[in-house]
Amino acid sequence: MKELAGMTPPLTARPRGFLLALAFISFISLGLPDAVIGVAWPSVRDTFHRRQEAIAVVLVVSGLGYLLSSFFAGRLMHVYGIGLVLAASTGLVASAMFGFGVAPIWLAFLFCALLHGLGSGAIDSGLNGYAAHHMSARQVNWLHACYCFGALIGPVLMSNVLAHGRHYSVGYATMGGTMLALSAMFLITCRSWGTPPAVVEEKRAPVGARVALRHSTVWLQMAVFFLYTGLEVTFSQWTYTVLTESRHIRPDTAGLAVGVYWGSIGVGRVISGFVADQFGVDRLLRLSLLLAVTGAVLIAACTSVPLTFTGLSLIGFGLAPVFPCLMSRSPRRLGTEISSHAIGFQVGSAMIGAAAVPGTLGILTRFGGLEAVPIGAAILSIVLTLLHERLVHLPDAAPPT
């Protein structure tokens, strides 16, 4: 049976329901602490007497840890299995959360950022590779929706802690306790995971990484993942600071705005999961990116609270299906052998973008003030849309079945 263009091919080895549920839980654990630094940053910045743009250092250090662990994720899972890697990685993130709250000096805070990146990288890279080869576009969208629900809870929790006059360590301790409980759960259930061959048995792929890097489509997808994740993190990490310090919005309202943003991404991914396979992935992404551009321009041009919430909702819904749908399209667009390498490159590019884009916009605030962030993000959202349009016009490597 043939499929519509831009739809993922049928799969022959789907995960069991119990394994799928655990994958969803692990993505909640990934999202839970990721958006917190954007809310906590003004307090962290003042505690360590740092400049505004020093958040870029935190993001870069975390990104380096992420890249390192994602590079070795396949080998680690081959030796220890996904369950044990999830348990250990979530434990690292828990340690980082506790460390963030009690770090006495700036270097200690940065070391915790490194631990956070190391823990997150193995989870993200391994599960995305597994999902791309074993899950439908619907399941991949719902998997990433779980990340958003975790990311929604984090900033709302931290903003309420700060709004009640408590130290940010209270919020981080709550995160740490939650992550520790998840780590224990993964440890108890680690044998149920087994060793997913699509993720860890890279030696079976006859195409090497160098060959994969010769394909222009691989580089174009890496650029799309770089910009997409950079924009996603930019709106997550900078919204609170822009709203409270440039537009003078109450801290609890600003924290709610960040929560609305992540909630929109989460709900958007749930909805996208219902329509992606039938509507066509490429067509869905075209419409979604136009929606994100509209929201980004609205936030850059308007400063009122209602329009800000509207813009963040549009951006959230627009960005929602981009990462999971592009990931699910990789085996079809690039071919199974090349995609086994390209998925790792895409995840790595996404992490670099998550550090580089908001960090660069943070540097620009020294010259254009905090409002340089939403303006720069709007411009980059247009560039992302144009890059994806170029990607859509390239032929698939694997024919439909």
User: Residue length, the chain?
Assistant: 401
Q: Which value, in Å, is the radius of gyration of the alpha carbons in the chain?
A: 20
Neighbours of 71 (CB within 10 A): 15
Which residue carries 């390192």 as its tokens?
A: 68
Please answer whether residues 309 and 260 qualify as being in contact, where contact means their C-beta atoms are separated by less than 8 angstroms: yes
The DSSP call for residue 195 is -
pLDDT value, residue 213: 66
Please answer whether residues 344 and 121 qualify as being in contact, where contact means their C-beta atoms are separated by less than 8 angstroms: no
Domain containing residue 151: CATH number? 1.20.1250.20
Candidates 14, 195, 217, 177; CA nearest to 90 is: 177
The verdict on residue 204 lying in a domain is no
pLDDT value, residue 10: 42
Taking the C-alpha atoms of residue 353 and residue 59, their distance in angstroms, rounded to an integer, is 10
The verdict on residue 352 lying in a domain is yes
Please answer whether residues 335 and 397 qualify as being in contact, where contact means their C-beta atoms are separated by less than 8 angstroms: yes
Cα of first residue to Cα of last residue in the chain, in angstroms, is: 6
The verdict on residue 397 lying in a domain is no
Amino acid at 19: L
What are the DSSP calls for 124-170, one per residue? HHHHHHHHHHHS-HHHHHHHHHHHHHHHHHHHHHHHHHHHTT--HHH
The verdict on residue 3 lying in a domain is no
Taking the C-alpha atoms of residue 351 and residue 227, their distance in angstroms, rounded to an integer, is 10
The DSSP call for residue 248 is -
Taking the C-alpha atoms of residue 90 and residue 28, their distance in angstroms, rounded to an integer, is 11
In sequence order, the 6+-apart residues with CB closer than 8 A to the CB of 287 are none
Amino acid at 281: V
The verdict on residue 33 lying in a domain is yes
pLDDT value, residue 214: 65
Number of domains in the chain: 1
pLDDT tens per residue across all 401 residues of the chain: 333 444 444 444 555 677 778 778 778 777 778 778 878 888 999 999 998 778 878 878 888 888 888 767 666 766 777 778 888 888 999 999 999 999 999 999 999 999 999 988 877 776 776 677 677 778 888 888 887 777 778 888 888 898 888 999 999 999 899 889 888 888 887 777 665 444 444 444 445 556 666 677 788 888 999 999 999 989 988 998 899 998 888 888 888 888 889 889 888 988 988 888 778 888 999 999 999 999 999 999 988 889 999 999 999 999 999 988 888 887 777 766 666 667 777 877 887 888 789 889 988 988 888 999 999 999 999 999 999 999 888 776 655 44
List Cα–Cα distances, 189 to 14, 81, 95, 130, 142, in angstroms.
19, 11, 21, 18, 22
Taking the C-alpha atoms of residue 72 and residue 343, their distance in angstroms, rounded to an integer, is 14
The verdict on residue 4 lying in a domain is no
pLDDT value, residue 217: 79
Candidates 205, 201, 203, 210; CA nearest to 337 is: 205
Candidates 355, 363, 326; CA nearest to 67 is: 355
The verdict on residue 165 lying in a domain is yes
pLDDT value, residue 212: 62
Please answer whether residues 322 and 285 qualify as being in contact, where contact means their C-beta atoms are separated by less than 8 angstroms: yes
Range of the domain at 178: 17-199+209-392
pLDDT value, residue 154: 82
pLDDT value, residue 387: 94
